[in-house]
Amino acid sequence: MKFDYAGYQRDLDRLLERVKACEGICKENSEIILKYYNLLAAQGFEPATLRNNVEKLLTLAKLLDKPFDDANKDDMIKLVSKLQSKYSDGWNMLSYKGILKKFYRWLRELDDEKIYPPEVRWIRSSAKNIKKIKREDILTQEDIEKIAKEATSVRDKALILTLYESGCRIGELLQLQIKNIKFDEHGVILDVEESKTIPRNVRGIDYVDVLSAWLSVHPYKDDPEAPLWVSQRGAPLKHDSVISALDRIKKKLNMRKKMNPHAYRHAKASHLAPYLKNATMSEHFGWSPSSKMPDIYYHLCNDDVDNALLEIHEEKTCRLCGYKNKMKSDFCENCKKPFNLKAAIEIENKKNAKEKAVSMVIDRLKDDDYVANVIVKVIKELKLEKEFEEI
């Protein structure tokens, strides 16, 4: 079952009513926005994406103050100038520019996705033009653990730590059901089915015990179809409720850093950038393979050189067994559990490669009756029937 946890559909419906009522815009722009909305909806975009497009096009129409169809390059220059003075947030501006360019490509009936009409072709909408991230503005893992400690319930503590460790968008996390949580010998895997971009599996290692504690008291823990995150009344947890809970903790701690749900994804991406390659980063965070998002975080890697040299000789305590490891390692010397996501991914990749190799060998040899009989005999002697059934 799919819930509108964040209220995107509700907000979208209200926005469409404002567009239909020509709120602050001319009739021509009202009709063209609705026509563009119908196209995006027919293409299967989620309510969150539809809401973002309609909301920003409504704002653009108000600032432009003339029909979109009649606007020229000079009008676009004035429009973007107004946006720059109105919105200082680089990410918000990037979203406005991207939507404006795609909208005009459709309006001018250009089929090539790489070509934009002259009115907007000059607009720079690359993430590389955004002001670089400052390390002091990013939540640290210590910050996040301090925030979680202030949570008043095991659910909120698990939500905060899972939001950080998974690096999921808040909408993705709230869409999870109990059946999407799978514990294994390395920690937990979140099966993110409802994604803005690409469905994926997300590994969790550090805070498995907290998530497990929440599931043990979950009111619907025996129902795999139940939402993972529910309110005290048992209803699916809403986006607004998460923001309210984080705001209360922020005031209590008097923390100046941003603590909105996306700040945790932002923090995780920054912390993982020194250790993961571009493709792995994109896979973990649900970015498309061609996304430039990883590049935004890689400039922080140079700042980690000194810290990395110090960490080589730093004692590391295993969160799971408590053993103090004397040497820098990706695995605990005592329980052999991975210390980080990179190590866990390497284990899974080796396991998958091994299973694939064994499967290929068996497939090629099974046509030989004698060899096949020998293989079956060995498998039975080693009592590995169940393992080979899964391959």
Q: Are residues 140 and 265 in the same domain?
A: yes
**Same structural domain for residues 100 and 117?**
yes
- Mean predicted confidence (pLDDT) in 43-61: 91
**Cβ pair 177, 220 in contact under 8 A:** no
Q: In this predicted structure, what is the pLDDT of residue 196?
A: 65
Angle, CA of 168, 206 and 347, to the nearest 5°: 90
CA 261 and chain centroid, separation:
11
Is 233 contained in some domain?
A: yes
Domain total of the chain: 3
Give me the helix-helix angle, 208-217 and 154-166, nearest 10°: 140
Residue 347: per-residue pLDDT: 72
Structure tokens at 185: 């010998």
Place of tokens 């010397």: 333
Domain boundary among 268, 299, 330: 299
pLDDT score for 97:
92
312 occurs within a structural domain: no
Range of the domain at 154: 135-299
Query: Residue 367: helix, strand or coil by DSSP?
Result: coil
The Cα diameter of the chain in Å comes to: 82
pLDDT of residue 49: 87
Assess whether pLDDT exceeds 60 at residue 303: no
Tell me the pLDDT of the chain averaged across its residues.
Answer: 83
pLDDT classification of 328: cutoffs 50, 70, 90: low
| Span 237-264, average pLDDT | 90
161 compared with 299, residue with greater pLDDT: 161
Look at 61-70, 257-266, 325-334 and tell me which has the smallest mean pLDDT: 325-334
Rounded percentage of the chain residues whose pLDDT exceeds 70: 82
Within a domain: 330? no
* Local confidence band at 20 (pLDDT 50, 70, 90 cut-offs): very high
Amino acid 276: pLDDT: 81
Highest mean pLDDT among 91-105, 156-170, 192-206, 229-243: 156-170
Instruction: For the beta carbon of residue 45, count every other beta carbon within 10 angstroms.
Output: 16
- Residue 387 contacts by C-beta under 8 Å, 6 or more apart in sequence? none
What's the token pair of residue 3?
């819930």
- Residue 324, helix vs strand vs coil: strand
Res. 305 pLDDT band, cuts 50 70 90:
very low
- pLDDT tens across 107-128, in order? 999 988 889 999 999 988 766 5
Please indicate, yes or no, whether the overall pTM of this predicted structure exceeds 0.85.
no
Residue 96 lies in a domain: yes
Q: Predicted confidence band at 312 (pLDDT cuts at 50, 70, 90)?
A: very low
**From CA 389, how far away is CA 391, in angstroms rounded?**
6
Domain identity same for 276 and 365: no
Residue 313, domain member (yes or no) = no
Which CATH number fits the domain that encloses residue 227?
A: 1.10.443.10
Domain identity same for 145 and 55: no
Same-domain check for residues 188 and 229: yes
Q: What is the pLDDT of residue 1?
A: 45
Residue 305, in any domain of the structure: no
92 and 161 both lie in a single domain: no
CB 325 within 8 A of CB 333: yes
Q: Does one domain contain both 207 and 283?
A: yes
Phi/psi for 249 (5° steps) reads -70, -40
Q: Could you tell me if 217 and 294 lie in one domain?
A: yes
* pLDDT for residue 3: 53
Residue whose entry in the numeric block shows the structure tokens 């979109």 = 68
Q: 61-101, pLDDT tens digit by residue? A: 999 989 999 999 999 999 999 988 877 556 778 889 999 99
Residue 254 lies in a domain: yes
Q: Are 94 and 229 found together in one domain?
A: no
pLDDT for the residue 30: 97
Pair (69, 169) in one structural domain: no
Residue 143 shares a structural domain with residue 277: yes
Residue at which a domain ends, from 105, 129, 153: 129
Chosen domain end from 274, 299, 324: 299
Query: Percent of the chain at pLDDT above 90?
Result: 45
pLDDT score, position 355: 72
Task: Say if residue 250 is in the same domain as residue 141.
Answer: yes
46 within domain boundaries: yes
